[in-house]
Amino acid sequence: MRTSTHPQLRELLQESPYQAYVYSYPHKTSYRALIPPIALRELWLKENRQSIFLYIHIPFCEMRCGFCNLFTTAKTTEDFVNAYINAVGRQAQRVKAAIGETTFVRFALGGGTPTQLPIAGLEAILDIAEEKMGAKLSEIPGSVEVSPATVDRDKLHLLRDRGLDRVSIGVQSFIDSEVLAVQRSQRVYQVETALTLMREVGFPTINIDLIYGLPGQTVDSWLQSIRVALQFQPEEIYLYPLYVRPLTGMGKSSQEWDDIRLECYREGRSFLISQGYTQVSMRMFQITADRDSRSSPNQAGPIYCCQADGMVGLGCGARSYTSSLHYSYEYAVEDQQVRQILKDFINTPAQSFDYAHYGFQLDAQESRRRYILLSLLAQEGLNLVDYHCHFTTEAFLDFPELSELLQLGLADRDNQTLHLTEMGMERSDNIGSWLFSEQVRQLMQTYQMHSLS
Of 95-99, 210-214, 286-290, the poorest mean pLDDT is in 286-290
How many Å apart are CA 284 and CA 208, to the nearest integer? 10
What is the structure's pLDDT at 2?
42
CATH of domain 34-299: 3.80.30.20
The amino acid present at 152, given as its one-letter code, is D
What is the structure's pLDDT at 110?
92
What is the structure's pLDDT at 61?
82
Residue 64 has pLDDT above 70, yes or no: no
What is the structure's pLDDT at 70?
73
Of 2-6, 39-43, 133-137, 415-419, the poorest mean pLDDT is in 2-6
What is the structure's pLDDT at 7?
67
CB 138 within 8 A of CB 298: yes
Classify residue 70 by its DSSP letter: S
CB 134 within 8 A of CB 96: yes
pLDDT in tens, 260-279: 999 999 999 999 999 999 99
**Cis before residue 17, ω within 30 degrees of 0?**
no
| DSSP secondary structure, 120-160, as one string | HHHHHHHHIIIIIT---TTTS-EEEEE-GGG--HHHHHHHH
Residue 394 burial (C-beta neighbours within 10 Å; 0-12, 13-18, 19+): exposed
Residue 339 has pLDDT above 90, yes or no: no
Residue 375 has pLDDT above 90, yes or no: yes
List the chain domain ranges: 9-17+363-442, 34-299
How many Å apart are CA 92 and CA 445, to the nearest integer? 33
Query: Any idea what the Cα angle at residue 372 is, between residues 369 and 374, rounded to 5°?
Result: 105
- Averaged pLDDT, 388-403: 96
Residues 6+ apart with CB under 8 A from 159: 122, 126, 144, 167
Does this model's pTM top 0.85?
Answer: yes
CB-CB neighbours of 23 under 10 Å: 14
CATH of domain 9-17+363-442: 1.10.10.920
How many Å apart are CA 28 and CA 82, to the nearest integer? 27
How many Å apart are CA 394 and CA 407, to the nearest integer? 19
The amino acid present at 413, given as its one-letter code, is R
Residue 288 has pLDDT above 90, yes or no: no
What is the structure's pLDDT at 293?
45
**Bridge partner residues of 146 (DSSP):** 169
Contacts 24+ apart (CB under 8 A), 93-99: 93/132, 93/350, 94/350, 94/351, 94/353, 94/354, 95/40, 95/133, 95/312, 95/314, 95/353, 96/132, 96/133, 96/134, 98/39, 98/40, 98/41, 98/44, 98/354, 99/40, 99/41, 99/44, 99/49, 99/312
Residue 146 burial (C-beta neighbours within 10 Å; 0-12, 13-18, 19+): buried
